[in-house]
Amino acid sequence: MPSSRQPPKDSNRNGVRKRQARTATPRTQSEPELWTALDGPARASISFWQTFMQLRKGAKPYSELDAQDIERLVLIVRAVCWVESRHGTGSGIKPARDPMQCGNPADAWWPQLADNSPAYDRFVAGGEATSFWANELPKAAAEKGMDSLAVVSSLPNAKKGHQNSEFNPTMSLFWGLPHLIWKTNVPKRTGKPQRPFFLFDGLARRELLDGAVAYNGGGDPKYREKVNEALTSLGWAAFESQIACSAMLGVIDDLKAHIDSGQIIFDKPSLKDELLGNEVTADLQALVSHLADLRKIRISSILRDEGHHGEGRSLDVGNEEVAANLLPQIATDAEVSAWNIDEIIFDAKKANSSNDRNKWNYDAGKKHAYSPVTLDSHGDHIHFAVKAAVERSEKTLAKSDYRSPRVVAQASSPSSVHSGPVIARGLQVVDFRTYPSGLIMRNPFSIAGFGFQSVSGSRLMIHDEAGDRGLQFSDLRVELRQPVDSILLEVGGFAGEVTLSVLDSYGALIQRLVVSPKNQLLRLTLTALNAKTLEFSDGNGEGLLVEMIVPDCPRIGR
């Protein structure tokens, strides 16, 4: 019987069904995806020009650019590249070849490199490096070994810039950067002193934004707004937060180093605990560290029930004989502002009988003349006080918001009757000094989200050694609450050297070091990107972890 089912009708007379054409919409690549191809050349360019022209920052004696400065330069180059050409995929002339838009032969910059300009910018180098006119840079840079893709003479016709098909993104990044730096440092702008090419002020966000706007040359009235938005979207705020966290770790380590070296001494042992404890402000700790950088100081008083001392914002330096050398370095308007100082009180005649008694004195951050009665009681010590946190300016906050008070978090070991401290507002701290000696900890145990475990099952116990107290171990694995980029440890081995392995959030080894010598507690400041796990081994059963501090800050996306 023939089937009652009929074949489907089709408009094609040959009986073949036509397939409907489908147009796939290409996926738009994200900014991080587009930047991947440019990140390497951008960083190589920054490294080359930093070395070739000896880039520096700040006041004399100039400082070398550090890792944080390099990251700031990467961010501003990335933001400019995004706004100029969407990393080579957007607007602009020949954007795929020239993402920084520096190779246009019709603009003012490229003709200088091609020796085709009526005038040339001067590139003054730092240190012992050689200075050049712009038209001299291409040959000199090529001779110094710059990336071969960036060599200007490799173009068939250098005067045509990015009109040459051989022009490429590496060349754009290598030659856009010196122009951006020149525009950042050299031109005179209202309220900004002129600087030589090699010298940045401090690579602050506003400074680099000003340079980017000058780089654009005024062609886009919304350029500042666009670059500023790009910096924010690229994580500048998170980056600055990470810098602040690193500073928090640094001031603690600096204070301990000054104490150990004898640069900070105390009239009584309890003053050390006060200085490093939770009742003094971050600004006071930062100021003390700075004072100790300048002169050896003896602290005679910190906390007492009066005035700023009662608020943890004041201390007295008891070795007043350092006043003649110390105070001229700190009792200036610039330093008082930078270190958020509220008061300096000292009878200057004690340093030199010809001095005005109020020569170095301040109140509320301003020069001040105290009464004879007040000065009579400030001849045998120098009084310093810092402002309360609510009085900080944005500039001071960024510079000195180092550390916060500790709060208590309960350890989960059932045999523990003591609380372990953890830092809030910026730092996480585990300090085993706060536990009673002889306490045996459960294996594994946790403190405020940090996991501690002896992989071999050996005993973990609080133990006194070398005048300090810590967690004694044969082997120890520590799981951090979240990946971090910096860690401060106080650790040692007392029957052999301890090996420390740092693993990232994927379990891959990113750093290994030996804590040496043995029989000594050492402070280690680790920089290990994406660190998540610490593994301590060796030590012959007598490793000791005293303290661990990590920033409670979001990592920068990498």
Q: Is the pLDDT of residue 391 over 50?
A: no
Taking only the tens place, the pLDDT of each residue in 54-87 is: 999 988 889 899 888 899 999 999 999 999 999 9
List the one residue out of 237, 232, 189 whose CA is nearest residue 210: 189
Global pTM? Answer: 0.50
In this prediction, residue 557 carries a pLDDT of 42
Distance CA 291, CA 289 (A): 6
Quote the pLDDT of residue 241.
52
Domain 406-551 in this protein, CATH class: mainly beta
Question: According to the model, what pLDDT value does residue 356 have?
Answer: 96
112 token code pair: 């200088």
Give the list of residues 6+ apart from residue 136 with CB closer than 8 angstroms, or none: none
Report the DSSP pairing between strands 450-453 and 314-317. unpaired
3-class DSSP state for residue 375?
helix
For 236-357, where are the E strands, in sequence order?
264-266, 297-301, 314-317, 341-345
pLDDT class for 399, splitting at 50, 70, 90?
A: very low
More confident residue, 409 or 148: 148
Q: What is the largest CA-CA distance in the chain?
A: 130
Torsions phi, psi for 313 (to 5 deg): -115, 15
Residue pair 291/319 in contact by the 8 Å Cβ criterion: no
Torsion 454-545-523-248 (CA) sign: positive
- Reported as a single tens digit per residue, the pLDDT across 112-156 is 999 999 999 999 999 999 999 999 999 999 999 999 999 999 999
pLDDT at 338: 76
Task: Report whether pLDDT(111) > 70.
Answer: yes
Least reliable range by pLDDT among 16-30, 150-164, 431-445, 510-524? 16-30
- Shortest CA distance to 383 belongs to which of 323, 317, 289? 317
Most confident of 14-18, 367-371, 454-458: 367-371
Q: Does residue 301 carry a pLDDT above 60? A: yes
- As a dihedral over the C-alpha atoms of residue 146, residue 150, residue 156, residue 159, rounded to 10 degrees, the angle is -100
pLDDT-derived band at 558 (thresholds 50, 70, 90) equals very low
Interval 185-200: pLDDT, tens: 998 654 456 789 999 9
Cα distances (angstroms) measured from residue 28 to each of 34, 89, 90, 230: 10, 10, 12, 18
- pLDDT class for 42, splitting at 50, 70, 90? very high
